[in-house]
Amino acid sequence: MNKTLTTIILVAVASLAPLAASAQTPVWNDIKGEEKIALETKGDVGRGAVGFEACQGCHRKDASGRVSGAYPRLSGQHATVVIKQIADIRAGRRINPKMEPYSDDHALTPYQIADIAAYLQSLPISADNGKGPGTAGAAGKQLYDKDCATCHGDAGEGNAAKFYPMVAAQHYHYLLRELFYIRDARRANANPMMVKVIKSYGDADLEALADYMAQLPPPRK
Amino acid sequence: MAAALMLGAVAVPAQAEDAKTLASTVCIACHGEDGNSVVPMFPKIAGLQEEYIVKQLKDFMSGKRKSDVMGPVVANLKAEDVAPLAAHYSSLKMKVGEAADKKAVEAGKLMYQDGNETSGVPACLGCHQPMGAGKDIYPRIAGQQSEYVLQQLKNFAAGDRSNDPNRWMRSTAKRMTEAEMRAVAEYLAGLDAK
């Protein structure tokens, strides 16, 4: 009820804003509704730690995820990135049936999302992530420096202000799966700029990229 | 005035006394003398989280949790009995049992610690703690009667039990096969959460 009302108000406010921004390219991150609420909430790390308990069954107690890549590492990830991704999953912009019942609006409020995101960002990053074969790192670095570093950072640290995720020290198999999804238009909330960049990439290129990113050490914060 | 004050002063101990009487005359029939039921279909309630026992009793009383067995029992329970009963049973020690099906224990342990990545079952330890001791709203499940655990998982999966916070257990149990439920129930029966 409350949420619906908030949405109505936000939509009403948004409609008064100049339309210039939305006229250019398809909007990848149209910040409104609960994503806006969560972003504007100062997340509480202590409350986030309690909220995250329900996520530990998959993402592990230290939020290191699974080496298999089934669940990504979330420790140290930018709070903005976590908020955007959960908001996208809740809105159906990113399809994630495994996570959906544990993150949708009967499980979490936007305020709790902000808390959990703040908590995750505060966690130390383990270097024990799942690595790739380690043989394609050099080729991967070449591609990364040319096409990825501008957004995801030279060290894979991402960009909190722009909602670009940290990719360094992420599990190889998770990186690989998402790269395939993004290239093959199977990740609905992929950034169109990124899709354009990697559209021409072959499978071996994606493997090399994932191999390289998984080897990048946890960025200094 | 003085009489009223005196009544107020003795009210709490009187309730605690009532709770002990209830425990030793009513609850004992199914849950055993010290809260360690020996009947496989009835849960052990000794050493469960106080907050969890309060919630379950309240849910039985309001009908949020349905049970043909507990329903008629809580019909005679007074609201003020809930807290002292919960405190009483929470203070007792759960006695750990033994798995009936030893072969299922290893698979159950794997399920408990890792879940099922393919079907998206979270590992139980995420909420119920590495040794099943539970925490706050998450009940202790280590040492519990396996038949009871299995039945509750089935009830959650079917939606017959729906008093879990945020649908967590319904979402989880729905993804489990019966073999996985059995295995994890067997593992828990012999798990000692020290």
A183, pLDDT greater than 50: yes
Write down which residue in B91, B112, B129 finishes a domain: B91
Same domain, residue pair B133 and B178: yes
Number of domains comprising chain B: 2
Residue B17, domain member (yes or no): yes
The amino acid present at A186, given as its one-letter code, is R
**Within an 8 Å CB–CB cutoff, is residue A68 touching chain B?**
yes
Residue B53, domain member (yes or no): yes
Same domain, residue pair B106 and B71: no
The amino acid present at B123, given as its one-letter code, is A
The upper half-sphere exposure of residue B14, i.e. CA atoms within 13 Å in the direction of its Cβ, equals 7
The upper half-sphere exposure of residue A13, i.e. CA atoms within 13 Å in the direction of its Cβ, equals 10
Between CA A88 and CA A110 the distance in angstroms is: 12
Residue B194, domain member (yes or no): no
User: Mind listing the pLDDT tens digit for each residue in A61-84?
Assistant: 999 999 999 999 999 999 999 999
Per-residue confidence at B18, pLDDT binned at 50, 70, 90? confident
Same domain, residue pair B29 and B77: yes
ipTM of the complex: 0.88
Same domain, residue pair B59 and B6: yes
User: Mind listing the pLDDT tens digit for each residue in A107-144?
Assistant: 999 999 999 999 999 999 999 999 999 999 899 999 99
Centroid of chain to Cα A194: 14
Min distance B191 CA to chain A CA atoms (Å): 18
Across the range A162-168, mean pLDDT stands at: 98
**Within an 8 Å CB–CB cutoff, is residue B103 touching chain A?**
no
Of A58, A68, A97, which has the smallest distance from its Cβ to B122's Cβ?
A58
Between CA B23 and CA B21 the distance in angstroms is: 5
Across the range B147-172, mean pLDDT stands at: 98
Between CA B189 and CA A214 the distance in angstroms is: 40
What is the span of the domain harbouring residue B137? 102-189
Same domain, residue pair B126 and B152: yes
Write down which residue in B64, B91, B118 finishes a domain: B91
Q: Could you tell me the domains of chain A?
A: 28-122 (1.10.760.10), 137-215 (1.10.760.10)
Residues of A in contact with B123 (CB under 8 A): 56-58
Between CA A32 and CA A88 the distance in angstroms is: 11
Let me know if A196 is exposed, middle or buried by CB neighbors in 10 A (0-12, 13-18, 19+): exposed
Write down which residue in B67, B91, B115 finishes a domain: B91
Between CA B112 and CA B191 the distance in angstroms is: 11
Same domain, residue pair B140 and B168: yes
Same domain, residue pair B85 and B106: no
Same domain, residue pair B109 and B87: no
* Cα distance from N-terminal residue to C-terminal residue, chain A: 39
Residue B97, domain member (yes or no): no
- Residues in contact with A218: Cβ distance below 8 Å, sequence separation at least 6, in sequence order: A76, A124, A125, A126, A127, A168, A169
Between CA A18 and CA A194 the distance in angstroms is: 26
Rounded to two decimals, the pTM is: 0.88
A23, pLDDT greater than 50: no
Same domain, residue pair B86 and B121: no
B3, pLDDT greater than 80: no
Residue B51, domain member (yes or no): yes
Q: What is the b/e burial string over A66-102, where b = at least 16 CB atoms within 10 angstroms of the residue's CB?
A: bbebbbbbbbbbbbbbbbbbbbbbbeebbebebbbbb
Q: In the predicted model, what is the mean pLDDT of chain A?
A: 91
pLDDT at B15: 75
CATH of the domain at B149: 1.10.760.10
Same domain, residue pair B70 and B123: no
**Within an 8 Å CB–CB cutoff, is residue A119 touching chain B?**
no
pLDDT at A160: 98
Across the range A35-50, mean pLDDT stands at: 97
Residue B96, domain member (yes or no): no
CB atoms within 10 A of CB B55: 19
Of B123, B138, B166, which has the smallest distance from its Cβ to A106's Cβ?
B166
Min distance A116 CA to chain B CA atoms (Å): 15
Tell me the sheet residues that pair with A159. Answer: A164
Per-residue confidence at B194, pLDDT binned at 50, 70, 90? confident
Same domain, residue pair B65 and B109: no
Residue B159, domain member (yes or no): yes
Residues of B in contact with A106 (CB under 8 A): 166-167
Same domain, residue pair B181 and B108: yes
Of B117, B122, B168, which has the smallest distance from its Cβ to A68's Cβ?
B117
Cβ(A149)–Cβ(A80) under 8 Å? no
Residue B45, domain member (yes or no): yes
